């Protein structure tokens, strides 16, 4: 298996734990263990008494039940718990794809969506979206990519890096195209439930199509990436069983404390989501006004889900150099779009409480640069 360097994670590894302001994070403001335990009256005692043995490989039954409860028509046997969505992407691709298969991947996307597909030896066709088209999904282009050996279509909605939710008619059409041909849909839904207007939420792929796998995570909408916990849900249990056989070789089972805290967080997820939606709804207009004030520098399709957006940057030089200079001089971390093969873009995040302060710092820097540029 050959893997290219993971550019997104590599860039983050360089700065994430030293930069003062995270202005590009795709995960929501987090919480402490104590804050989470305070959400249920006797949680502290139950957590203290937790047995630290191995857990069931498919996930603790009480946790699978809590996850299944988030969907309609999904039972706990339709859920496989995994140690992060990242593990899920690895398992699904490697358990279900190989040489001779063809997979279509919506791009630009989180890098493992593309590179882990390639690492299986399957042929990979990007289903490319373009900023110039408002990041629209071209269904005719998708249909033209389908081959007799197309085994899987990977989509990601709401999307990283655009922060845009797929239109319902596009989602339905993708499902129909796949259903008609028996193609598996692997739907990365890690930003689900963070639609800025909850009435725009799409059904989960696993609810509408038997051969679809929905990928979920505690990292993004719920703001708990330190739990390293995710899940795959599908009504096709054979697909999950194949993933489980791979999981025996990756993590065997998930972490018992994480399973406990995840089940608690999911039971109380309305509280988490209410606070997280408050943050994005407060921050996004501030970011929108910033983009408008600097319209000669930034242009974007305003995001409608998740805590990220992906503006185009109009500068003479290299955008990665621009981002590196900003983080060195101001401590504000942006993610250069080159890591998504979109070198004219930057990913910005608005899921942190201190976003207004971070933006102010960035704006001060941009203004000082302009002053320097003036004769
Ligand atoms: C679309 C997408 N899928 C999966 C992941 C991985 O998430 P996790 O933290 O659960 O491994 C990310 C993280 O950025 C992501 O953006």
| pLDDT values of the chain reduced to their tens digit, one per residue, 375 residues | 889 999 999 999 999 899 999 999 999 999 999 999 999 999 999 999 999 999 999 999 999 999 999 999 999 999 999 999 999 999 999 999 999 999 999 999 999 999 999 999 999 999 999 999 999 999 999 999 999 999 999 999 999 999 999 999 999 999 999 999 999 999 999 999 999 999 999 999 999 999 999 999 999 999 999 999 999 999 999 999 999 999 999 999 999 999 999 999 999 999 999 999 999 999 999 999 999 999 999 999 999 999 999 999 999 899 999 999 999 999 999 999 999 999 999 999 999 999 999 999 999 999 998 745 443
Whether 125 and 263 share a structural domain: yes
The CA 92 to ligand 1 mean position distance, Å, reads: 14
Whether 16 and 143 share a structural domain: no
Whether 191 and 283 share a structural domain: no
- Check if 342 has its Cβ closer than 6 Å to any atom of ligand 1: no
Q: Which H helix or E strand runs over 187?
A: strand 184-188
Strand duo 212-217 + 230-233: pairing? antiparallel
Characterise 193 by phi-psi region: left (phi > 0), alpha (psi -120 to 50), beta (else).
Answer: left
Is the whole-model pTM more than 0.85?
yes
Residue to probe by mutation, ligand 1, list 159, 160, 213, most atoms within 8 Å of CB: 160
Domain interval for residue 162: 51-268
Whether 163 and 244 share a structural domain: yes
Residue nearest to atom 15 of ligand 1 (CA): 110
Last residue of a domain, one of 231, 249, 268: 268
Which segments within 62-145 are labelled E, that is strand? 79-82, 102-107, 123-128
Does residue 187 lie within any of the structural domains? yes
Cα 231 from Cα 244, distance rounded (Å): 11
Whether 183 and 259 share a structural domain: yes
Cα 42 from Cα 274, distance rounded (Å): 23
The CA 364 to ligand 1 mean position distance, Å, reads: 31
Last residue of a domain, one of 268, 302, 330: 268
Whether 343 and 356 share a structural domain: yes
Whether 309 and 210 share a structural domain: no
Whether 230 and 135 share a structural domain: yes
Closest CA to 71 of 167, 205, 239: 205
Dihedral of the CA atoms 253, 257, 260, 261 (nearest 10)? -120
Task: Render the burial of 59-88: b for 16+ CB within 10 Å, e for the rest.
Answer: bbeebbebbbebbeebebebbbbbbbbbbb
Residue 88 CA: nearest ligand 1 atom is 11
Cα 254 from Cα 256, distance rounded (Å): 6
Domain CATH number, residue 158: 3.40.640.10
Provide the domain count of the chain: 2
């Amino acid at each position: 298996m050959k893997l290219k360097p993971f550019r997104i994670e590599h860039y983050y590894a360089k700065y994430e734990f030293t930069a003062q302001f995270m202005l590009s994070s795709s995960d929501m403001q987090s919480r402490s263990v104590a804050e989470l335990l305070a959400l249920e009256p006797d949680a502290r005692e139950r957590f203290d008494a937790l047995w630290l043995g191995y857990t069931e490989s498919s996930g603790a039954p009480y946790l699978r039940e809590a996850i299944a409860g988030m969907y309609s028509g999904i039972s706990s046997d339709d859920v496989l718990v995994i140690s992060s969505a990242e593990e899920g992407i690895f398992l699904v691709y490697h358990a279900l794809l190989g040489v001779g298969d063809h997979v279509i991947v919506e791009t630009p996307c989180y890098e493992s969506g593309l590179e882990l597909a390639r690492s299986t030896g399957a042929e990979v066709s990007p289903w490319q979206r373009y900023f110039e088209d408002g990041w629209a999904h071209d269904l005719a282009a998708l249909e033209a990519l389908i081959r007799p050996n197309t085994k899987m279509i990977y989509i990601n909605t709401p999307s990283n890096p655009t922060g845009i939710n797929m239109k319902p008619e596009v989602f339905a059409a993708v499902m129909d195209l796949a259903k008609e041909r028996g193609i598996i849909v692997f739907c990365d839904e890690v930003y689900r439930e963070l639609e800025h207007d909850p009435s725009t939420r799409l059904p989960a792929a696993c609810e509408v199509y038997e051969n679809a796998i929905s990928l979920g995570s505690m990292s993004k909408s719920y703001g708990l990436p330190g739990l390293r916990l995710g899940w795959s849900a599908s009504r096709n249990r054979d697909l999950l069983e194949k993933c489980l056989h791979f999981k025996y070789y990756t993590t065997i089972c998930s972490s018992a404390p994480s399973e406990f805290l995840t089940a608690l967080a999911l039971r109380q997820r309305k509280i988490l989501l209410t606070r997280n939606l408050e943050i994005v709804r407060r921050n996004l207009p501030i970011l929108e006004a910033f983009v408008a004030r600097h319209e000669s520098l930034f242009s974007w399709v305003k995001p409608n889900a998740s805590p990220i957006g992906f503006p185009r940057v109009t500068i003479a030089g290299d955008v990665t150099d621009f981002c590196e200079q900003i983080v060195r001089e101001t401590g504000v971390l942006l993610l250069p779009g080159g890591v998504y093969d979109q070198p004219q873009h930057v990913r910005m995040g608005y899921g942190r409480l201190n976003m207004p302060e971070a933006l102010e710092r960035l704006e001060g820097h941009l203004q000082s640069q302009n002053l320097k540029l003036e004769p």
